[in-house]
Amino acid sequence: MNNGAEKQRRIIFHVDMNSFYASVEMAYDPSLKGKPLAIAGNPEERKGIVVTSSYEARAKGVKTTMNVWQAKKLCPDLLVMRPNFSRYRAASKALFKIFSEYTTLVQPVSIDEGFMDVTEIAKDVHAVDLAQEIQQRILRELDLPSSIGIAPNKFLAKMASNMKKPLGLTVLRKRELPTKLWPMPVGEMYGVGEKTATKLNKAGIYTIGDLAKKDVYHLKQFLGINGERLQNRANGVDNRPIDPNAIYAFKSIGNSKTLPFDTTDDEEIYTLLKELANKVEQRMKRKKTVGKSVQLTIRYHDRRTITRSKKLRYYVHRAKDILTEIYDLLQKHWNMEPIRLLGITVADLEEGQQIAKQLDLFTYQNEAEKEKLYEAIDHLTSKYGENPFIHVEDMDSVNAQQPTTSFQKDFLDDYKNDR
């Protein structure tokens, strides 16, 4: 018996833009084309961090997260520009509009990449011809290069799109895994981070092929259920659908940022926390949500990273309330060693309109519980001359030029509003 619905082979595209921010700037100003270009958060200062760079710059060794001074040392003629996020949003909006003209089964992943299920369309046109048409449209209409992976599922499509850049077009079939996928280092596999790769290497797993053939029981011993999932991926098994509604699912809202230099300076730390909380508040307002737990992330000078969270008895969405709780976590868990990165996350989210205003009694109790924190804040105010938590000002004009981890997710709001 032939079940057509089950037997029909899916055709999935993963479209990944090449050096997106830099490419958008080159499309806006063609005189930049062919030159080594880096987009950095603060190019005028030595402490600026490279967000992305053109392929000409990458050929000289320039990498993402590198300090500007390091990048210029490797590439003396490097052009460095501040990011223009409104320009990138506009380009992303146009990009996904093109996708939606081919299929309704589009799942954005970030501002510059997304999946498309073209199974139905590919009945009338060859998948490679269709991918080439989309790639050329993006290049012709937006002047932006892209790479497209073509495969029977999301994982393989994602791996395929990364195999040839820029302007790559790669087909990855399951029967080709032994020759195309398995020889690759396991650390290059999508879903395998640095820590997981280290664990796998210690277990004698160096290639994706090693992972595909490893005893699953042994994998579960040191990776848990994730071991079986990764092995399935390595064998080309991935049944996840293309879900256009995935953009509506979010469980937390957070921001993190690397300090220009490792520091133990209270004022620098509090200033950054204030900035991060303000950005979290802005994003929560955009999503019209409130949260009932907060999390502080600290990365130390030696790259050790800790996360400490706190469940709350009340919902928060304002920067000053978020900061009060974050300050409490910092006081309890910072070991006073130099800090490299800080992050703030609000979780256990609910839509604001579904949360009724809390009773005055509970509000009073919460304020009483936080009295010690307010005393500590008063101490900081007297020390620095300004309360570092209350009166958080609108920093849109400043943060518009500063790259943070939230921007790649915030574009989803634009996409949702256009649907």
List binding-site positions for Mg(2+). 16, 112
With a CB cutoff of 8 Å and minimum separation 6, the contacts of 271 are 388
Residue 409 CA to residue 394 CA, distance in Å, equals 20
DSSP 185: B
Helix (H) / strand (E) containing 156: helix 154-161
Binding site per annotation, positions: 16, 112
Buried b (16+ CB within 10 A) or exposed e, 6-17: eeeebbbbbbbb
DSSP string, 203-243: TT--BHHHHHHS-HHHHHHHHTHHHHHHHHHHTT---PPP-
Is residue 337 part of the annotated active site? The answer reads no
- 193-198, Cβ contacts within 8 angstroms, sequence gap of 24 or more: 196/223, 196/226, 196/230
Residue 48 CA to residue 96 CA, distance in Å, equals 31
> From the CB of residue 332, how many other CB atoms can be counted at a distance below 10 Å?
10
Residue 411 CA to residue 406 CA, distance in Å, equals 9
Please, are residues 164 and 147 in contact by the beta-carbon 8 Å criterion?
Answer: yes
Q: What are phi and psi of 58, to 5 degrees?
A: -65, -35
Residue 310 CA to residue 348 CA, distance in Å, equals 11
Catalytic pick among 113, 275, 281, 325: 113
Please, are residues 307 and 364 in contact by the beta-carbon 8 Å criterion?
Answer: no
Please, are residues 319 and 277 in contact by the beta-carbon 8 Å criterion?
Answer: yes
Strand 169-171, strand 146-151: pairing: parallel
With a CB cutoff of 8 Å and minimum separation 6, the contacts of 31 are none
From 187, 162, 174, select the one nearest 239 (Cα to Cα).
174
How many Cα atoms are found within 13 Å in the side-chain-facing hemisphere of 384?
Answer: 16
Strand 113-117, strand 12-17: pairing: antiparallel
Known catalytic residues are: 113
